[in-house]
């Protein structure tokens, strides 16, 4: 099976302190969809991925199949797998179409 992997030419960093702030805001019931926790530099342009997008990005290291990424997220965020699967597949397809992910 194919496993998604981050394009090695993309520079990125996980903003751990920012993620902690976002998680605290989420626990308070605030909407956190717009807050970036992972920064990507692609062709000199900075892009931010939100909490869930950042986790998907981090999990796409070439060692997991898409189903395993979905399983890991469902467990981490205590969400029904079925609710998550379609969104994760769509997000990964979008990143692949941008050339940010590739399959190994």
**CA proximity to 95, closest of 60, 43, 45:** 60
Pairing state between β 101-103 and 4-6: antiparallel
What's the confidence (pLDDT) of residue 83?
Answer: 86
* Rounded-to-integer distance, Cα 23 and Cα 71, Å: 20
Is it the case that residue 1 has pLDDT exceeding 80? no
37-96 pLDDT, tens per residue? 999 999 999 999 999 999 999 999 999 999 999 999 999 988 899 989 999 999 999 999
What's the confidence (pLDDT) of residue 78?
Answer: 86
> Is 13 exposed, middle or buried, given 0-12, 13-18 or 19+ CB atoms closer than 10 A?
exposed
What's the confidence (pLDDT) of residue 77?
Answer: 87
Is it the case that residue 10 has pLDDT exceeding 80? yes
| Whole-structure pTM value | 0.93
Mean pLDDT of 19-24: 95
Chain position carrying tokens 């939100």: 50
């Amino acid at each position: 099976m194919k496993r998604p992997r981050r394009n090695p030419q993309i520079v990125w960093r996980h903003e751990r302190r920012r993620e902690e702030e976002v998680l605290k805001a989420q626990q308070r019931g605030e909407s956190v969809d717009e807050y970036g926790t992972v920064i990507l530099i692609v062709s000199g342009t900075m892009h931010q991925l939100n909490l869930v997008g950042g986790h998907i990005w981090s999990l796409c290291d070439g060692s997991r199949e898409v189903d395993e990424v979905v399983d890991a997220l469902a467990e981490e965020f205590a969400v029904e797998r079925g609710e998550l699967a379609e969104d994760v597949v769509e997000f990964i397809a979008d990143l692949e179409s941008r050339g940010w992910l590739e399959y190994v």
